[in-house]
């Protein structure tokens, strides 16, 4: 099978939300020595873009999006399994720590955003759900991330986003990280009020915001 055919197969696997096909195509990409970045950018991410666009248009729904994300993550694991940390860093658009805030166990939105960010070329560290504020800050420092991304699905858990910004300020490290927040009750006004850097309403919006934040970081 040619490189082009394998890339097409990777793209189709995501569009068809088929994890088995994604694993098969990723295995073939590894076997023939396709650069993992090319496999992602020319294969998997194109499929994810199709799914994401259809989702934004209301033609694809959350279950399909979740299965596409699962297929994407499986293929990513196979493509990048043997890559060194240094090579990953070089290939990355930026490093993002993502989590669902303390007290909140709703992580579907966060999981979709995580996949979309990966598809957008970001290196994403996922802390999971119901993550304590102190743990978020500790992991952000330890992993030297560029962006802290957090989702809150309940009005009662939104204040954890404010607390993250407050702890970063208290520690004197606020300027080392950009804070990108989202979630059903979260709004642009809320993000401005708590002194975070960006708000995203959708998964594709989160990718755009993350890219804009990285551009700000690079400009210094």
Residues that bind other proteins (CB under 8 A): 17, 58, 60-64, 66-67, 70, 105-108, 111, 154-156, 184-185, 187, 189-190
Minimum distance from CB of 50 to other proteins (Å)?
16
**Least distance in angstroms from the C-beta of 155 to other proteins:** 5
Identify which of residues 37 and 108 has a Cβ nearer to other proteins in the complex: 108
Nearer to other proteins, 28 or 70 (CB): 70
Q: Which is nearer to other proteins, 63 or 220 (CB)?
A: 63
Instruction: Compute the distance between CA of residue 199 and CA of residue 165 in angstroms, rounded to an integer.
Output: 14
Strands (E) across 46-196 are located at 95-100, 123-126, 147-151, 178-182
Laid out side by side, the sheet with 198-199 consists of 123-126, 95-100, 147-151, 178-182, 198-199
**Smallest separation, CB 215 to other proteins (Å):** 28
Nearer to other proteins, 69 or 213 (CB): 69
Q: Which is nearer to other proteins, 63 or 172 (CB)?
A: 63
Q: How far is the CB of 17 from other proteins (least distance, A)?
A: 7
User: How far apart are alpha carbons 15 and 71 in whole angstroms?
Assistant: 10
Element (H, E) at 162: helix 159-170
Structure tokens at 40: 């992602």
Closer residue to other proteins (CB): 38 or 108 = 108
d(C-alpha 167, C-alpha 184), whole Å: 23
Q: How far apart are CA 124 and CA 52, in angstroms?
A: 18
Task: State in angstroms the smallest separation of the CB of 108 from other proteins.
Answer: 6
Give me the least distance between CB of 132 and other proteins, in Å please.
Answer: 15
Nearest to 206 by CA among 106, 116, 125, 83: 116
From residue 86, alpha-carbon distances to 80, 82, 92, 179 in Å are 12, 12, 10, 24
């Amino acid at each position: 099978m040619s490189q082009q055919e394998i890339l097409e197969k990777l793209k189709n696997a995501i569009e068809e939300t088929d994890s088995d096909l994604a694993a098969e195509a990723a295995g073939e990409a590894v076997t023939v020595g396709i650069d993992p970045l090319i496999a992602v950018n020319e294969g998997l991410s194109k499929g994810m873009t199709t799914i994401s666009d259809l989702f934004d248009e209301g033609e694809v729904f959350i279950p399909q999006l979740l299965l596409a994300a699962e297929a994407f993550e499986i293929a990513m694991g196979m493509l990048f399994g043997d890559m060194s940390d240094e090579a990953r860093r070089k290939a990355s658009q930026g490093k993002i720590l993502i989590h669902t805030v303390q007290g909140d166990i709703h992580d579907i939105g966060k999981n979709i955003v995580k996949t979309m960010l990966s598809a957008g070329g970001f290196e994403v560290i996922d802390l999971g759900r119901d993550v304590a504020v102190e743990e978020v800050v500790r992991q952000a420092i330890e992993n030297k991330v560029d962006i802290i991304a957090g989702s809150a699905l309940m009005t009662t858990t939104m204040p954890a986003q404010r607390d993250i910004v407050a702890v970063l300020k208290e520690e004197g490290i606020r300027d080392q990280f950009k804070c990108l927040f989202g979630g059903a009750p979260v709004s642009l006004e809320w993000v401005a009020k708590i002194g975070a850097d960006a708000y995203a309403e959708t998964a594709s919006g989160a990718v755009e915001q993350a890219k804009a934040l990285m551009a700000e970081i690079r400009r210094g």
